[in-house]
Amino acid sequence: MKFNDSPVGIFDSGLGGLTVFKEIRKILPFEDLIYFGDTARVPYGNKSKETIIKYSSEILEFLTGRKVKIVVVACNTSSSLALDDLRKKAGVPVFGVIEPGAKKAVEVSSGGNIAVIGTSATIQSRAYSIAIHKEITFLNGDKSRRFNNGFKIIEKACPLFVPLVEEGFLNQEITKSVINHYLSSLIVEKPSCLVLGCTHYPMLKDLISAEIGGNTEIIDSGIETAEVVKNYLKKNGMLKVGAEKGGELFFVSDDIEKFKELGGKFLGRSMENVSLTDGDVIK
């Protein structure tokens, strides 16, 4: 198999990364994709950095063992805490979801306040704040593109969002109440944009948008990451050759049926080719 024809590997702690998978499939219809969801150990957001690095490294080994040409860490928690370690180990390019989302936030904010919501681990890592400030520093190096620094980054952990999505509570009153509880403190800051700092959160995008108001632009890091992946593959001559629709393989560490049922809602279609790993990831 030619290197160009090797698959793109994507992983997440569970279902949430399917929002990134969906965006990558949309703009790269001919690429073969392999997705791994660590459904036995979800959520990652309440685990230690050491544990997240361990789990992410095991999944990286699983994907590179299947000869992927790049790896997309479709998990904000892993992206914030394990990305540097994974890049050192991988032997192939590794992309996270934080830098693309941060770059888009700076682009659309016009110097206004930027809000970020995510898991406890992502927010505690301050990964988005660091990435946003890094992007601003880059822009301020170009005098023609200087960024107004009179703004705030407001970060809020929303730990109940992931289990609500994983349990399929996508439009229930309890979900609306939890969203109101978490976002009420953000609304008073009048953010120009809100970054969905967890790949599960796009499943709640309409409810979140309704709660925070139409003047705040919602940024989906999955969409921005898909664009980065496409541009990288194109720039480096790594796009798959041919015009046949790309194949798809899905692997999970537990509960295939639940993954297929909820995953179908994430993708808006039925899911095929889903397999249970047999101990080669869970050490």
CA–CA separation, 156 and 87 (whole Å)? 28
Q: What percent of the chain has pLDDT over 70?
A: 92
Q: Hey, what amino acid is at 59? A: I
Q: How many residues does the chain have?
A: 283
Query: Does the pLDDT of residue 253 top 90, yes or no?
Result: yes
| Catalytic annotation, residues | 75, 198
Q: What are phi and psi of 82, to 5 degrees?
A: -120, -5
What are the tokens at 122? 């992502």
Q: What is the DSSP string of 220-270?
A: EHHHHHHHHHHHHHHHTT-SPPSSSPPPEEEEESS-HHHHHHHHHHHHTS-
pLDDT exceeds cutoff 60 at 268: yes
Topology of domain 3-96+223-276, per CATH? Rossmann fold (3.40.50)
State if pTM tops 0.85. yes
3-state DSSP assignment of residue 43: coil
Residue 202, preceding peptide bond in cis (omega within 30° of 0): no
pLDDT at 65 over 70: yes
Same fold, 3-96+223-276 and 98-221: yes
In this predicted model, what pLDDT tens digit does every residue of 179-226 receive, in sequence order? 999 999 999 999 999 999 999 999 999 999 999 988 899 999 999 999
Domain residues of the chain, as ranges? 3-96+223-276, 98-221
Spelled out in words, what is the top-level CATH class assigned to the domain 98-221?
alpha beta
